[in-house]
Amino acid sequence: MTNQQIKPLIPACLSNGWGYFELGALCDIERGITFPASEKTSKNSENSIACLRTANVQKEVDWDDLIYVPLYYVKKEEKLLRPGDILISMANSLELVGKVAFVHTLREQSTFGGFISAIRANAKIIPSYLFYFLKQAFVQEEIRSSASRSVNIANLSLSKISQIKILVPPLDEQRRIVANLESILTQTRIARASLVGVSEFLKAFRQSVLAAAFRGELSERDPYDEPASVLLERIRAERRRRWEESLRAKGKDPGRADYEEPLAPDTSKLPDLPEGWVWTTLQMIADVRSGVTKGRDLSKFKTIEVPYLRVANVQAGYLDLREVKRISIKEDEVDGYRLQVNDVLYTEGGDRDKLGRGTVWKGEVDPCIHQNHIFCARLYLPEVNPEWVSMTGQLEYARNYVDSVASQSVNLASINSTNLKAMPVPLPPKEEQLRIMEKVTALMHRVQVAEQAFVTASNQTSNLEQQILAKAFQGEL
317-350 residue pLDDT tens: 888 898 889 999 999 988 899 999 999 999 887 7
Contacts of 62 by beta carbon, 8 Å cutoff, 6+ apart = 55, 56
Identify whether 188 is part of a domain: no
Nearest to 428 by CA among 220, 205, 208, 209: 220
297 shares a domain with 152 = no
232 shares a domain with 141 = no
90 pLDDT more than 70: yes
Domain end (from 410, 428, 446): 428
What is the pLDDT, as a whole number, of residue 11? 52
360 shares a domain with 280 = yes
359 shares a domain with 235 = yes
Pairwise CA distance, residues 455 & 449, whole Å: 10
Pairwise CA distance, residues 69 & 204, whole Å: 36
**pLDDT digits 0-9 by tens, 273-320:** 998 999 999 999 999 999 898 888 888 889 999 999 988 888 888 888
279 shares a domain with 150 = no
Pairwise CA distance, residues 421 & 408, whole Å: 19
Instruction: Give kind and range of the element (H or E) at residue 405.
Output: helix 396-405
What is the pLDDT, as a whole number, of residue 10? 47
**pLDDT digits 0-9 by tens, 444-466:** 888 778 777 777 766 666 666 67
Identify whether 99 is part of a domain: yes
Identify whether 195 is part of a domain: no
416 shares a domain with 303 = yes
Domain end (from 168, 196, 215): 168
What is the pLDDT, as a whole number, of residue 6? 43
115 pLDDT more than 60: yes
Q: Which residue range forms the structural domain that includes residue 346?
A: 226-428
152 shares a domain with 230 = no
Contacts of 414 by beta carbon, 8 Å cutoff, 6+ apart = 348, 349, 355, 406, 407
376 pLDDT more than 60: yes
Identify whether 5 is part of a domain: no
Sheet order of strands, 369-370 included: 325-330, 303-309, 369-370
Identify whether 325 is part of a domain: yes
474 vs 247, which has greater pLDDT? 247
- Count: domains in the chain: 2
Identify whether 316 is part of a domain: yes
92 pLDDT more than 50: yes
Task: Identify the DSSP state of 116.
Answer: E
What is the pLDDT, as a whole number, of residue 477? 64
268 shares a domain with 139 = no
Pairwise CA distance, residues 117 & 476, whole Å: 32
Q: How far is CA 134 from CA 88, 184, 470, in A?
A: 10, 18, 11
21 vs 469, which has greater pLDDT? 21
304 shares a domain with 231 = yes
Identify whether 135 is part of a domain: yes
234 shares a domain with 161 = no
Cα dihedral across residues 132, 135, 137, 142: positive or negative: positive
**pLDDT digits 0-9 by tens, 410-428:** 567 788 889 999 999 999 9
**pLDDT digits 0-9 by tens, 241-258:** 999 999 999 899 988 899
Pairwise CA distance, residues 180 & 426, whole Å: 58
pLDDT band at 26 (very low <50, low <70, confident <90, very high): very high
148 shares a domain with 41 = yes
- Determine contact, residues 228/429, Cβ cutoff 8 Å: yes
Identify whether 4 is part of a domain: no
| Residues β-bridged to residue 138 | none
339: domain CATH number is: 3.90.220.20
351 shares a domain with 236 = yes
